[in-house]
Amino acid sequence: MTEWWEREGLQYRDGFLIFAGRQVDDLARQFGTPAFFYDGRRFTANIERLRSALDQAGLVNRYRIKYAMKANRFMPLLTHLRKTGLTGIDACSPGEVEHAISCGFSAEDISFTATSLANRDLERLTRLRGLSMNCDSISTIRRWGELGIGRSIGIRVNPAMGISRAQNEKLKYSGVNTTKFGIYREQFGDALAVARDYDLTINKIHFHTGCGYLTPQLEIWDAIVESCLWFVDQLDSVEVVNVGGGLGVPHTAMDSPLDLTRWASILARHFRNRPQSIEIEPGDYLAKDTGLLLLTVNTVEQKMETVFVGVDAGFNIAVEPAGYGLPFHPVAALRQTGNNRKVTIVGNINEALDVWYADITMPPLSEGQCLTLINAGAYSSSMASNHCMRGEFKEFLLL
Ligand SMILES: Cc1ncc(COP(=O)(O)O)c(C=O)c1O
């Protein structure tokens, strides 16, 4: 039987889960758990798929991909990415910029979009020649302007529309609720006036309105692109439109992969008669399905009507399932036989929200066995905390 999540590079073979050409059970025995493993080839394949969709839509040489390193900043992964030369970087803090530079990227490769920047952040950034700065507030435009006259900047805009997987509100960056991200139409005139005061040229319009969207959300994507081009049309100086990230991957059997052809054709249609080039800054789409989190089952016990399966790490090292309602599907490293039963998989953190997966029907699991969570390649290790002093894990890049 083929499971919904099986693909080249992640599948059962003769009862063993194989990831990036390795037996997962063997990796767990050699290196211990909890551990994240990333498949470098899958990362590259994800970039190539995106490029090919954009090329086929007629956008050859009109776009650049900037990997959103907040998704996963594991140094070997970034260094590997730099060597491929396939993408630049989207960074959101001075620390990220310097980390990217330490992995071989140059300031010119980096598009910077952040929020609530302190003066000390701005001063640190002015030292980096070639960095592409996107201001997301009038305050930032003013303070950036005060630091030196005559630079080009981008402006992050907020179209008051949002997009996310299954329209999950927690994953939206703009929409019905007013958010801190970007400048709204209502304040855009004021933003332009401040930029003029400091002789700043606006050469980029940037938007990122939410995360994890799939094919059912593409009509909204179309409307968002249209709406953001209004900002571009207020200016003669815009050379680049950064359309953010947010492209999602399937998390459950009910999700289908994002229809990239349709996604790219929407972009191509909007940019057909425009001179601007496009930047895309995906994190999830490139990194998420490259990662597997290996855990060990330590407890299997029925409490009342629920069978709990306890594992050796909790939501603090991968917050998306508990924090954003994004399920990480559990897969046993050795294919189990026996009658399926409903279980709830939980971690080792003393918090009620420390549930990896509630009420999932699976073949029997036993104590001591290796269990993996798929889709752990983005916003997991990069967001991990040491809550309960259980923040330890290992990370490996497989090439
Ligand atoms: C400005 C910006 N760009 C890109 C991204 C990447 O988003 P995703 O990983 O959903 O593609 C984010 C995520 O928070 C972001 O804030």
Q: Which atom of ligand 1 is nearest to the CA of 283?
A: 9
Mutational test site, ligand 1, from 43, 69, 70, 164, max ligand atoms within 8 Å of CB: 70
pTM score, whole prediction? 0.97
Amino acid at 383: M
CA dihedral 37→38→41→44, nearest 10 degrees, is 180
Nearest CA to ligand 1 atom 9: 283
Distance 7 CA to ligand 1 centre (A): 25
In the structure encoding, which two tokens stand for residue 326, read together? 């994004």
For residue 156, the ligand 1 atom closest to its alpha carbon is 1
Cα(319)–Cα(322) distance, rounded to whole angstroms?
Answer: 6
Choose the residue to mutate in 89, 90, 286 for probing ligand 1, maximizing ligand atoms within 8 Å of C-beta.
90
The string of DSSP letters for 285-326 reads HHHGGGEEEEEEEEEEEEETTEEEEEES--GGGS-IIIII--
pLDDT beneath 50: ranges in the chain? none
- The structural domains of the chain, ordered by start, are 10-40+288-398 (2.40.37.10), 62-282 (3.20.20.10)
Q: Which atom of ligand 1 is nearest to the CA of 245?
A: 11
Peptide bond into 327 cis (omega under 30): no
| For the CA of 282, the nearest atom of ligand 1 | 11
User: How remote is the CA of residue 68 from the centroid of ligand 1, in Å?
Assistant: 6
Task: Kindly give the distance from the C-alpha atom of residue 34 to the centroid of ligand 1, in angstroms, as a whole number.
Answer: 26
Residues flanking ligand 1, CB < 6 Å: 68, 70-71, 90, 113, 208, 211, 244-247, 281-285
